[in-house]
Amino acid sequence: MTVSKRSKPASVNPLKIGQSLGGVLALQGCYRALPIIHGPQGCSAFPKALLTRHFREPIAVQTSALQEMDVIFDANRNLEEALNTILTKHRPDIIGIIGTELMDVAGVDYQSMLKSYKRERNLRGGLAFSVTLPDFIGSLESGFSGTVEAMVDELIQQAGHRNQRSVNSRQITLLPGSFLTPGDVMEIKEMISAFGFEVITVPDISTSLSGHLLTGFSPLTRGGVPLDSMLQSLQSGLTIAIGGSMERPARRLHNAIGTPYKVFQGAMGLKATDDLLHFLHQISGEPVPLRYCWHRENLLDSMLDAHFQFAGMSVIAALEPDHLYSVSQWLEELGVEQKALITSCETPVVSGMEREVWVGDLDDAEVLGSGADLWISSSHGLAGAERIGAAFMPAGFPVWNELGAYMSTSAGYRGAMDWTNKAGNLLIRREAGRRESSVRHR
């Protein structure tokens, strides 16, 4: 089907989240990491505020704090000062320098500066890389993927792999997409581990943004995958990428060191989970654990129980591209009318979908979804859902009007069952509210 856009002069209630936020999110899944946003202070305050509000956890991020004159005369001086301060005071294991649109437009060559800086100071024992993520293209998803790709590139260079490497056939590198919550990542890790594999997840937000108790303050990330495990992942016998956006870093590993990879567009719903488990069964030779057979039965039963609530209902979904694809497949299995599908930018995944997809904002969702019964989007869409009278189901990023949203699970049979029950309950309450309103107005 086609990818369409409505013709209008401005974006109203934007759906798109800037790439730099995706870069910061990726680095939160690495242990003792620190993202440095090379740009004005507002470029770091925005991701930090949104991520903190969504995950309700401290977010590690620093900035080079550029002013107008810095860009004109010597933007790299600020970056060098920031690196000196961070290395002296905090000594992170991983530093990711995220170039903003200001650096991109000004043509600042901070990547060459970073190479010279590492060579002059003989930096060893850590990982430092840079990536350019201007906000005028892409979205959170592409920023996340681009940061992981840059991280993988630096890992390969640091490890110094050439033609010879030891391969652990029982070890799998998992590359989770930006749309997966910490709960989703944990569920997928457990599914892979259930077949006897050791899993190294890059990045791993399931152990850093999962709501664990923290004491004291640290400017660095206090969870995620350690650097030594990231280097060990180069010995994996296979890479599994979840989400089409993660194919590029998976292909980078394949091209550089020969690691084969498998991409799953999603891991939500009946067919997607069937495909993942069947693949794991084939490569491991192990039977599917009994608990997943029970989970599948539970999902089928919940879909049967809820079919009266979903019959004749229509849904509008406004999400990042990979997430939209995954949710659309789940809605297809429920037999729900998909009134409109809105995403933040065009990608090969949404271009290949069988339904029409609109690239736009939450105003487009409100116009195209008029009359829909259920609205699925970030918390920014709450007001629009109320205006068209749709039940609102928060999903994606950011979600601030619901506790524990960052740990909600949609992956696997259990995740699809939870989403099916949650959506069905929202529709039940909506119909009950309409009946009460009708009685009061008689």
Confidence (pLDDT) at 376: 98
- Domain extents in the chain: 19-159, 168-289, 291-440
Higher pLDDT, 122 or 360: 360
Confidence (pLDDT) at 286: 96
Rounded average pLDDT over 226-241: 96
Confidence label for 70 from pLDDT (cuts 50, 70 and 90): low
Does residue 400 carry a pLDDT above 60? yes
Confidence label for 163 from pLDDT (cuts 50, 70 and 90): very low
- SS3 annotation, the chain: CCEECCCCCCCCCCCCCCHHHHHHHHHHCECCEEEEEECCCHHHHHHHHHHHHHHCCCCCCEECCCCHHHHHHCHHHHHHHHHHHHHHHCCCCEEEEEECHHHHHHCCCHHHHHHHHHHHHCCCCCEEEEEECCCCCCCHHHHHHHHHHHHHHHHHHHHCCCCCCCCEEEEEEEEECCCCCHHHHHHHHHHHHCCCCEEEECCCHHHCCCCCCCCCCCCCCCCCECHHHHHHHHHEEEEEEECHHHHHHHHHHHHHHCCCEEEECCCECHHHHHHHHHHHHHHHCCCCCHHHHHHHHHHHHHHHHHHHHHCCCEEEEECCHHHHHHHHHHHHHHCCEEEEEEECCCCHHHHCCCCCEEECCHHHHHHHCCCCCEEEECHHHHHHHHHHCCEEEECCCCCCCCCCHHHCCCCHHHHHHHHHHHHHHHHHHHHHHHHHHHHHCC
Rounded average pLDDT over 151-180: 88
- Average pLDDT of every residue of the chain: 91
Confidence (pLDDT) at 33: 96
Pick one of 3.30.70.1070, 3.40.190.10, 3.40.50.1980, 3.30.2270.10 as the CATH number of 19-159. 3.40.50.1980
Looking at domain 168-289, which CATH architecture does it have?
3-Layer(aba) Sandwich (3.40)
Confidence label for 162 from pLDDT (cuts 50, 70 and 90): very low
Domains 19-159 and 168-289 share a fold: yes
pLDDT in tens, 381-390: 999 999 999 9
Q: What is the CATH number of domain 291-440?
A: 3.40.50.1980
Confidence (pLDDT) at 125: 77
